[in-house]
Chains A and B, each alone.
Chain A
């Protein structure tokens, strides 16, 4: 692969966003600043995360910086409202395997990058109460940030995997050294679960890599996937005699969506490779999400981790799983997604109900919040999985798009609300050193400002209309109706359970006459630092609740494009709509058949021509993006 001749304006901005924290961590680990200067180390770490956040904000919101007088939007910045990959950076890394330093952002990853850098900044600010081995803590924390941002911006599967694994070790030590009483158990459990998932993922990556063949793609697709810079190089690639394998996620997605996809052609033990890969990748990602039954690491890790790490865990790490499913599983293995849609949705529904019931049963405040995460991430799974493109007997991409948009919104909203909830629990724990729900009460009287903010955040988690938790859940539930009415009804009823555990917790902690638990004398009002962390979270929870279009402006174009492409793909390979819950192993026997119009086109859905027109437009690289994100 020759290095791209095209200019890469985003090379330094994106590289800095990813690697600045790691670079500072490396500097900190050298004995330049003595260990004893803890305050300086804290400030350096905070400044690093703040710079990273400002950089990502500069990329994500050119309008703001233009208004502030930094000049008009540059080519390295993100064009809001445009679908497709932007700010792509490409440098050769390991030519022997076609591995590249390939980064880029689109409407799915940009808001998640922003969420990550924002929460990292807040978590860094929330790390002031950490007094044990301050230097080591911040070095590991900054390494963690690099890993998280790197996963969201990687477009090369190998690079993605490297970043994915880079997160593990810092997290292990952050939980294992600075955690609560059962920290060692929680840390190794977290590590083992995730490593098991990522080994399965590695197997899937290798399978996909060695099955892929870039020669099958058209020159337009190759250029859109940033494999080659121009048509001449594409023609040269197509003329080769040996298959050209690739780790390029965009190219893999284009290959996976070909009518003669190489991933669907290969059968292994009675299932197509595509289904296997989907399954293996899904296991890797749902462990991170997490869904029942692989969720058990989460309550332990959350409860034992120190407050800032809990914020990062709930706010960012869980989103990596959802992001992986959306970015990798569905586009690359659409056939597997179609076959296993019932599995994804079923896991989502089971998680949301189980998580809610488990949260009801907890007496530990933090554990309750942890189970609420399991329940809330269930909505994400359900929203991603509703392959309503073939709901019942109809092709309907719009209902599915609604679900995926809802899931994306839910991920971002949960990032805000769960980080906020964990922070609020932490504030209380720092004062009274216990988390027993039954021994709280009367906090409203003692700490009115804190209690007000906390209740707002908890209501956001509850999904109260007007706050951020509402939008995502409603969209997901509505879209699930088209896929399976049972799932829709169950997910709607789960809201009642959610309301029950959150209201009950608020009642037990904040209401009541007076606080009778231990360390009552330490219940001092929030410090300014704590206020500065809590206030932005509450502000965003309200903002996203009343003006969801602030987020949808980023998310919707890209999500809609991806869903449209996949819906058109479904029509092509499955002309007759399959049953809603296809049994395992009934892979596409109908694949080689020529595309046929569905006989049952209803009036509300876009006419078939319209969909394929949209797809054609999306496939056209000159339309700025490419089909394959």
Chain B
């Protein structure tokens, strides 16, 4: 094959297969360029960059939605152009992968941005002057997260993680005058750089042993090597653990969570929302992708029984690592949250705890691989559903914190005392969000937890890791009870305690722009707790990455 034909085939592949399924990312990239160009043009400068961003996001959301609907078996039929894409399509020569999980998480991220920009508009951070920079960084980070969700090659994994992280470092320090914000940005960057270094080292170890970074190829090569045992297995395990460190940093899993409370407290609540929702969704998607990609090879591995034993050992290793990290993350997050007095710090620990619940679900995915495909699909679907509800819950919580900050000039929990007297609407909204975060019915958080726990129970029934899964089930249950304390503490302060004297008297009504935004975030939290068939159907579709 000569160079010309290689170029031609690459070109056709790129133009006809890859780029059409890459429209979401392209829309985001174009919007970033537009934002920066408009900033330089004198006339376009007068345009609020938030609206430019919103326009681009609208396109991205539309493309993401159509990509999801184009999948076979999608709910609500095929898109207008009637194109049905295959369930699994490698893009750009195997660097990226388009499958239901990619489509679902991309839509989730685009939907998040569509809600996030109005939220920043209502809360006033960033101001007009910083708008272009801020939104460019947010969109850039989101672009990286989209790539995280679709990465199919360890190099793209690393690039995507960095692309998502670097804007986040800058965003943490976006409140330029504040010392705490600069400190948060620096801390985050240093931690991030360390984690990225370790992850890159792990990738190089794995790539060195296996001779490839392409995930499906790795999955085929790996079992035989693991089955043989010996030094190479040790190197692989070490490399795997190092990659896990990088992922744990993105997931804010214990013991790589130390940046999280400090960054959340120092940075603006708006940035916290971005990190806590979007970054988490992408990190979980990446985790699921790595686990299912390695644990469930697309092609049959050569090597017979040795490879089968190696595959089993690989899965067992993944289950064990994720389960231990999950149990520790969940418990420590919930226990540490109890002592917090700052609302953003409390939400940071709550984010850590929820990362723990999500990782419990990921452990169930890993445990169910290779049993019944239906069960593993349901386990992935549970995670996808969790991410969908988590978007509304946490974005709602951060939106309320930001609005209250604008009103009260404080983010301390104690300053919320007696808020029910002056602003009952916002307190009810907060109650819905927090109770949903506890996981009580009939709210969305309960359904998400119910689904994750059901996949753990299925893992108990079907998988070989029964004792470990039982422990996870009990840990998850007990943590739900522990989490009651600190979420209710906030509600208690808001409702039971008498208001302080220095309280600005004007109430925060829900009948306003920001009030409408909060309502728009809180109503889905309640509605998804009762009518969850639709979202679950989408989540089931996302679960079809396992076959």
Is B61 positioned at the interface, with any CB of A under 8 Å from its CB? no
Instruction: For residue A425, give the distance in angstroms from its CB to the closest CB of chain B.
Output: 24
Chain B positions 442-485 with a Cβ under 8 Å from a chain A Cβ:
442, 446, 450, 453-454, 457-458, 460-461, 470, 473-474, 477-478, 480-481, 484-485
Task: Report the nearest B residue to A164, measured CB to CB.
Answer: B441
B: number of interface residues (CB 8 Å) = 34
Q: A206 with B533: in contact, given A192-B484, A199-B480 (CB under 8 Å)? A: no
What residues of chain A lie closer than 8 Å to B480, measured between beta carbons?
195, 199
Question: Which of B22-30, B102-110, B276-284, B488-496 lines the interface with chain A?
Answer: B488-496
- The answer on a CB contact under 8 Å between A169 and B537 is no
- The answer on a CB contact under 8 Å between B441 and A162 is yes
Is B440 positioned at the interface, with any CB of A under 8 Å from its CB? yes
With the chains together, A560 CA to B454 CA distance in Å? 35
Is B536 positioned at the interface, with any CB of A under 8 Å from its CB? yes
Q: A184 with B435: in contact, given A165-B441, A169-B440, A203-B477 (CB under 8 Å)? A: no
Is B544 positioned at the interface, with any CB of A under 8 Å from its CB? no
Partner of B473, one of A168, A183, A203: A203
With the chains together, A202 CA to B474 CA distance in Å? 11
Is B540 positioned at the interface, with any CB of A under 8 Å from its CB? yes
What residues of chain A lie closer than 8 Å to B446, measured between beta carbons?
162, 165
Contact with A along B505-543 (1 / 0, CB 8 A): 000000000000000000000000000110011001000
Chain A positions 70-109 with a Cβ under 8 Å from a chain B Cβ:
93-96
- The answer on a CB contact under 8 Å between A172 and B488 is yes
- The answer on a CB contact under 8 Å between B484 and A191 is yes
Is B374 positioned at the interface, with any CB of A under 8 Å from its CB? yes
With the chains together, A166 CA to B446 CA distance in Å? 11
Instruction: For residue B151, give the distance in angstroms from its CB to the closest CB of chain A.
Output: 29
With the chains together, A210 CA to B454 CA distance in Å? 8
Q: A96 with B440: in contact, given A176-B496, A199-B477 (CB under 8 Å)? A: no
What residues of chain A lie closer than 8 Å to B496, measured between beta carbons?
176-177, 183-184
Contact with A along B221-261 (1 / 0, CB 8 A): 00000000000000000000000000000000000000000
With the chains together, A173 CA to B540 CA distance in Å? 37
Q: A206 with B484: in contact, given A162-B441, A242-B374 (CB under 8 Å)? A: no
With the chains together, A162 CA to B428 CA distance in Å? 20
- The answer on a CB contact under 8 Å between B457 and A168 is no
Is A67 positioned at the interface, with any CB of B under 8 Å from its CB? no
Task: Report the nearest B residue to A184, measured CB to CB.
Answer: B496
Task: Report the nearest B residue to A162, measured CB to CB.
Answer: B441
- The answer on a CB contact under 8 Å between A188 and B488 is yes
- The answer on a CB contact under 8 Å between A94 and B536 is yes
Task: Report the nearest B residue to A206, measured CB to CB.
Answer: B457
Chain A positions 153-209 with a Cβ under 8 Å from a chain B Cβ:
161-162, 165-166, 168-169, 172-173, 176-177, 183-184, 188, 191-192, 195-196, 199-200, 202-203, 206-207, 209
- The answer on a CB contact under 8 Å between B454 and A192 is no
- The answer on a CB contact under 8 Å between A202 and B450 is yes
Partner of B488, one of A191, A199, A242, A268: A191
Partner of A94, one of B442, B453, B457, B532: B532
Tally of contacts, chain A with chain B, CB under 8 A:
79
- The answer on a CB contact under 8 Å between A173 and B495 is yes
Is A307 positioned at the interface, with any CB of B under 8 Å from its CB? no
Partner of A210, one of B431, B435, B461, B474: B461
What residues of chain B lie closer than 8 Å to A93, measured between beta carbons?
533
- The answer on a CB contact under 8 Å between B540 and A96 is yes
- The answer on a CB contact under 8 Å between B484 and A195 is yes
Task: Report the nearest B residue to A183, measured CB to CB.
Answer: B496
Q: A207 with B457: in contact, given A162-B442, A200-B477, A202-B450 (CB under 8 Å)? A: yes
With the chains together, A184 CA to B496 CA distance in Å? 8
- The answer on a CB contact under 8 Å between A202 and B442 is no
What residues of chain A lie closer than 8 Å to B533, measured between beta carbons?
93-96
Is A127 positioned at the interface, with any CB of B under 8 Å from its CB? no
Is A211 positioned at the interface, with any CB of B under 8 Å from its CB? yes
Contact with B along A110-121 (1 / 0, CB 8 A): 000000000000
- The answer on a CB contact under 8 Å between B495 and A96 is no
Instruction: For residue B447, give the distance in angstroms from its CB to the closest CB of chain A.
Output: 9
Chain A positions 270-316 with a Cβ under 8 Å from a chain B Cβ:
none
What residues of chain B lie closer than 8 Å to A207, measured between beta carbons?
457, 460
Instruction: For residue A374, give the distance in angstroms from its CB to the closest CB of chain B.
Output: 23
What residues of chain B lie closer than 8 Å to A173, measured between beta carbons?
495
Partner of B454, one of A95, A209, A269: A209
What residues of chain B lie closer than 8 Å to A136, measured between beta carbons?
424
What residues of chain B lie closer than 8 Å to A95, measured between beta carbons?
533
With the chains together, A460 CA to B142 CA distance in Å? 68
With the chains together, A45 CA to B454 CA distance in Å? 39
- The answer on a CB contact under 8 Å between A192 and B481 is yes
Instruction: For residue A267, give the distance in angstroms from its CB to the closest CB of chain B.
Output: 11
What residues of chain A lie closer than 8 Å to B478, measured between beta carbons?
199
With the chains together, A195 CA to B473 CA distance in Å? 16
- The answer on a CB contact under 8 Å between B532 and A210 is no
Task: Report the nearest A residue to B474, measured CB to CB.
Answer: A203
Of A166, A177, A199, the most chain B CB neighbours within 10 A belong to: A199
What residues of chain B lie closer than 8 Å to A177, measured between beta carbons?
495-496
What residues of chain B lie closer than 8 Å to A268, measured between beta carbons?
460, 470
Partner of B477, one of A169, A192, A202, A242: A202
Task: Report the nearest A residue to B480, measured CB to CB.
Answer: A199
- The answer on a CB contact under 8 Å between A96 and B537 is yes
Instruction: For residue A142, give the distance in angstroms from its CB to the closest CB of chain B.
Output: 15
Of B428, B435, B477, the most chain A CB neighbours within 10 A belong to: B477
Task: Report the nearest A residue to B381, measured CB to CB.
Answer: A96
Partner of B457, one of A96, A161, A195, A210: A210
What residues of chain A lie closer than 8 Å to B454, measured between beta carbons?
206, 209-210
- The answer on a CB contact under 8 Å between B374 and A166 is no
Q: A195 with B461: in contact, given A166-B442, A184-B496 (CB under 8 Å)? A: no
- The answer on a CB contact under 8 Å between B492 and A176 is yes
Instruction: For residue B327, give the distance in angstroms from its CB to the closest CB of chain A.
Output: 16
Instruction: For residue A136, give the distance in angstroms from its CB to the closest CB of chain B.
Output: 8
Instruction: For residue B432, give the distance in angstroms from its CB to the closest CB of chain A.
Output: 10
With the chains together, A266 CA to B532 CA distance in Å? 31
What residues of chain A lie closer than 8 Å to B431, measured between beta carbons?
169
With the chains together, A184 CA to B424 CA distance in Å? 20
What residues of chain A lie closer than 8 Å to B470, measured between beta carbons?
268-269
What residues of chain B lie closer than 8 Å to A169, measured between beta carbons?
431, 435, 440
Task: Report the nearest B residue to A173, measured CB to CB.
Answer: B495
What residues of chain B lie closer than 8 Å to A203, measured between beta carbons?
453, 457, 473-474, 477
Task: Report the nearest B residue to A273, measured CB to CB.
Answer: B461
With the chains together, A136 CA to B495 CA distance in Å? 11
- The answer on a CB contact under 8 Å between A210 and B473 is no
Partner of A196, one of B424, B481, B488, B495: B481
With the chains together, A29 CA to B429 CA distance in Å? 13
What residues of chain A lie closer than 8 Å to B460, measured between beta carbons?
207, 268
What residues of chain B lie closer than 8 Å to A210, measured between beta carbons?
454, 457-458, 461
With the chains together, A191 CA to B540 CA distance in Å? 34
What residues of chain B lie closer than 8 Å to A165, measured between beta carbons?
440-442, 446
With the chains together, A188 CA to B490 CA distance in Å? 13
What residues of chain A lie closer than 8 Å to B485, measured between beta carbons?
188, 192
Given contact pairs A96-B540, A206-B450, A206-B453, a sample of 7 additional A-B residue pairs in the complex whose CB atoms are under 8 Å apart = A161-B441, A177-B495, A184-B492, A188-B492, A195-B484, A202-B477, A206-B454
A residues near B (Cβ < 8 Å) are 29, 93-96, 136, 161-162, 165-166, 168-169, 172-173, 176-177, 183-184, 188, 191-192, 195-196, 199-200, 202-203, 206-207, 209-211, 242, 266, 268-269
Interchain residue pairs with CB less than 8 A apart (14): A94-B532, A169-B431, A176-B492, A176-B495, A177-B495, A184-B492, A188-B485, A202-B477, A203-B453, A206-B453, A207-B457, A209-B457, A210-B457, A242-B374
Instruction: In the A-B complex, list the 10 residue pairs whose CB atoms are closest, starting with the nearest.
Output: A162-B441, A206-B457, A199-B477, A165-B441, A196-B481, A165-B440, A210-B457, A162-B442, A206-B454, A210-B461
B residues near A (Cβ < 8 Å) are 374, 424, 428, 431, 435, 440-442, 446, 450, 453-454, 457-458, 460-461, 470, 473-474, 477-478, 480-481, 484-485, 488, 492, 495-496, 532-533, 536-537, 540
